[in-house]
Structure 1
C-alpha cells in the first residue's frame, strides 16, 4: 500500500499529485547561473582569473538557455511562458490584491523577470568581454557600465527572490523546492 493510499484509508487526505514541470537542464541552468554570478560578483577585481572564467561560463550558460528556450520541453520554451506587457501588469496587480492565479509553469511576471535577468546578465557578460578587447581596453565607460549592470542585476535578484517568496505564500507552494526537484502540484 502506498503512503497516499494509506493516508486515505486511515482517514487522512491524500497528498496532492505532483507533476514534473522543470526539466533537469532548466534546474541546472538556474542554480549554476546563481552560483556562477555570485562567484563572479564576489571575485570582481580581486581574483581576476576566477572572475573571467565565471563570466565566460555564464555566457555559455546563457547561450545554452536561449537555445533551450526555443527547442526544449514545454515549460522551458519562451513561447510557452512569455506574455505581453498587459498580462504582466495584470498578474502583478492580481498578486498585490490577493487574486493571483496559480500556474503550472511561470507566471507572466516571473517570465518578465526571467527575460530581464537574461538581458542584464547578458549585458554584463558583453561589457566584461569588451573590457578584454583591444578596442575597449581601459575604456572607463565600459568598466562603469559593466559594474552598473552587475549591481542592477543584484537588485533584480533580490526582487526575484522576494517575488518567489511572495508567490510561494500566495499559492501555498514552495517554488524554490520546485526548482530543486522539478515538481509542482498538479493543476487545480
Structure 2
C-alpha cells in the first residue's frame, strides 16, 4: 500500500531554510570574520529572516505561526510522547522543533544586530563586547543547528519518514495515523 504524498513546505519556507543554512555554514566555517562576504551574507540572512517573519502571517498553513507556535500545551503533548517513546505525528513542525526554530531565528536576528553594531555604530568601533556577544551567539546557534539536525534524524526514525528530504522537496508522505496536534 503506497502512502499519499502531501505538499507541505512551500518554496518561500524552503528557500529561507536553505539560505540561512548556507549563510551559517559560509560565515561560521569559511568566510573571514568582518570580511565583505561575511557582512553581506549576514545582511542577506537577516533580510530572509524578515521575509520569513512576514510569511508566518500571510503564507500557507504550514508556514503560519498559528499552525506551529510552541504553546505550553503543544510542548507538553510532544514531550509526553517522547517520554512515552510514542511517535508524535504532525504535519509541519513539531512543537519542540518549532521552539528550536524560534530560538534559532532569535539568534539569527541577534547575530545580525551585533554584527551591524560592530560595523555601523562608530561609538562601538573597537569595543570588545559586541564582538564577544556576536561570537557567543554564533556558537549558541551552532549548538542549536546541531540539535536541530540530530532531532530531524531522530524524528525521521520515529515517524518513519525522511523529514530532511521533505524540506528539500516540499513534500511529505502522509502517515496512516496522521493527526494534527
Q: What TM-score, normalized by structure 2, do the two folds share? A: 0.91
Q: Deviations over 1:132-177 (max 9, x none)?
A: 1212211211110000000110000000001001100000010011
Q: In the alignment, which of 44, 47, 59 is matched to residue 46 of structure 2?
A: 59
SS of alignment partner, residue 19 of structure 1: strand
Number of residue-to-residue matches in the alignment? 175
Q: Residue 145 of structure 1 corresponds to which residue in structure 2?
A: 133
Q: Residue 179 of structure 1 corresponds to which residue in structure 2?
A: 167
Q: Residue 129 of structure 1 corresponds to which residue in structure 2?
A: 116
Change (3 A) 1:46 1:143: closer
* Residue 64 of structure 2 corresponds to residue 77 of structure 1: yes
**CA distance in structure 2 between the partners assigned to 1:139 and 1:74 by the alignment:** 44
Q: Residue 6 of structure 1 corresponds to which residue in structure 2?
A: none
SS of alignment partner, residue 124 of structure 2: coil
Q: Deviations over 1:26-74 (max 9, x none)?
A: 0111011100111111245457111101101101010110010111111
* Residue 7 of structure 2 corresponds to residue 20 of structure 1: yes
SS of alignment partner, residue 110 of structure 2: helix
CA contact (8 A) 1:41 1:150 kept: yes
After TM superposition, list the pairs within 5 Å mapping 1:86-105 onto structure 2. 86-105=73-92
Q: In the alignment, which of 146, 152, 157 is matched to residue 145 of structure 2?
A: 157
Q: Residue 37 of structure 1 corresponds to which residue in structure 2?
A: 24
Give unpaired runs (5+ residues) of structure 1. 1-12
SS of alignment partner, residue 135 of structure 1: helix
Task: Give RMSD over aligned pairs.
Answer: 1.5
Q: Which has the higher Rg, Structure 1 or Structure 2?
A: 1
**CA distance in structure 1 between the partners assigned to 2:145 and 2:40 by the alignment:** 21
Q: Deviations over 1:52-108 (max 9, x none)?
A: 011011010101100101111110011111131343243134224311320011111
Moved over 3 A (4+): 43-47
**CA distance in structure 2 between the partners assigned to 1:89 and 1:125 by the alignment:** 32
Higher relative contact order (CA 8 A, sep 6+): 2
